[in-house]
Amino acid sequence: MQNIRIPPNATIALIGKYNAQGILEPLRAIAAMLLQRGHTVLVDQATAQHGDLSQCTPATLDEIGQRAQLAVVVGGDGTLLGIARQLAPHAVPLIGINQGRLGFMTDIPLAQANQALQSILDGQYEAEQRTMLHAQVVRDEQEIFASVAVNDVVVSRGSNGGLVELSVAVNGQPMTTQRADGLIVATPTGSTAYALSASGPILHPQLAGLLLVPIAPHALTNRPIALPDDSHIEITIRGGRAISAHFDMQSYTEIQEGDRIRVQRSHHHVRLLHPVGYNYFAMLREKLHWNTSPLLDAEK
């Protein structure tokens, strides 16, 4: 992707999961460092109300999108996913500081935040662009819900319902009809999320592809499949009860028989900045423990 220039006096947004235990002190430290470097620092309103960041300027996420040239997100992957969806129309680059658990996207450890941020602001960083999805739910030819997603769009049954019966068409061509607990449409970023738990393959984030992964299908011949990322996917609900469509598992809508969920690549992207030396495979080795051997561990 095209290199991103961060001006010395850039306006930078600081967004944190303010109610997470132990997060306020790191937020204050990062804010102090940014202010000392001469940056204007915007803080999302919820964090500003609870974080005692009086030298920063409170702002809505829409205002952040319009004014900020960079956003620093402190939290877990879920926090970054939510912010990425809301800031994507503004093309604001994101830096993820991990204060959560796994940290697939929030790749900078909290203890290294200030040092990593200083280097990135000095122009030493790796930039990458991640695919997003755009989905709409259509009922009686009327759109009733629409959203974007970074990880996935999931159609699933409710806790008290039976299997979901659905059919899938790709680019207008019938592909499959199946009964299952649900179906995941995932980006390469989302291939290490819910899709991986449902036995889907891992796609490198720079691969131009999308995944269709059935969740506990009734017929074991229904398997995951990778599609070109310019595919137009339409899922039609044929039967089932208490069905819902989820977008990154953070927003959802209830759907019913006859509804269609149309999914395609969004024209928006997530723009991420990483410290120099960031390596996707090193991240997989660390997060998925690919650098350990159960047999060797058992012999210790």
What pLDDT does 293 receive?
A: 66
Query: Does residue 169 sit in helix, strand or coil?
Result: strand
What pLDDT does 298 receive?
A: 55
pTM score, whole prediction? 0.91
Highest mean pLDDT among 16-20, 107-111, 161-165, 185-189: 185-189
Backbone angles phi, psi at 266, to 5 degrees: -75, 155
Query: Considering the chain, what percentage of its residues have pLDDT values greater than 90?
Result: 74
- Which pLDDT band holds residue 297 (cuts at 50, 70, 90)? low
Mean pLDDT (whole number) for 143-161: 91
Residue ranges of domains in the chain = 11-123, 133-266
Higher pLDDT, 51 or 297: 51
Q: How far is CA 258 from CA 45, 75, 231, 254, 272, in A?
A: 40, 39, 22, 12, 38
Q: Which region, left, alpha or beta, applies to residue 242 given φ > 0 means left and ψ of -120 to 50 means alpha?
A: left
Query: What is the architecture, at CATH level 2, of domain 133-266?
Result: Sandwich (2.60)
Burial (Cβ within 10 Å: 0-12, 13-18, ≥19) of residue 53: buried
Task: Report whether pLDDT(296) > 60.
Answer: no
Q: Which DSSP symbol is given to 190? A: G
What pLDDT does 51 receive?
A: 66
How far apart are alpha carbons 74 and 171 in whole angstroms?
39
Summary mean pLDDT of the chain:
91
Please, are residues 245 and 253 in contact by the beta-carbon 8 Å criterion? yes
pLDDT tens for 78-106 read 999 999 999 999 999 999 999 867 778 89
Mean pLDDT (whole number) for 205-234: 96
Tokens standing for residue 102: 């796994």
- Do the strands 57-59 and 70-75 form a parallel or antiparallel pair, or are they unpaired? unpaired
- Tell me if residue 259 is catalytic: no
Least confidently predicted of 38-47, 135-144, 208-217: 38-47
How far apart are alpha carbons 112 and 77 in whole angstroms?
17
What pLDDT does 46 receive?
A: 80
Query: Considering the chain, what percentage of its residues have pLDDT values greater than 70?
Result: 95
- Identify the CATH homologous superfamily for domain 11-123: Probable inorganic polyphosphate/atp-NAD kinase; domain 1 (3.40.50.10330)
Catalytic residue among 44, 77, 152, 259: 77
What pLDDT does 291 receive?
A: 77
What pLDDT does 95 receive?
A: 97
Please, are residues 76 and 51 in contact by the beta-carbon 8 Å criterion? no
What pLDDT does 300 receive?
A: 53
Which run of H or E residues covers position 184? strand 182-186
Q: How far is CA 203 from CA 130, 137, 186, 275, in A?
A: 12, 26, 10, 22
Cα angle vertex 64, ends 92, 94, to 5°? 30
Please, are residues 86 and 250 in contact by the beta-carbon 8 Å criterion? no
Please, are residues 132 and 269 in contact by the beta-carbon 8 Å criterion? yes
pLDDT tens for 15-48 read 987 677 777 888 889 999 999 999 999 998 888 8
Mean pLDDT (whole number) for 44-65: 85
Higher pLDDT, 54 or 56: 56
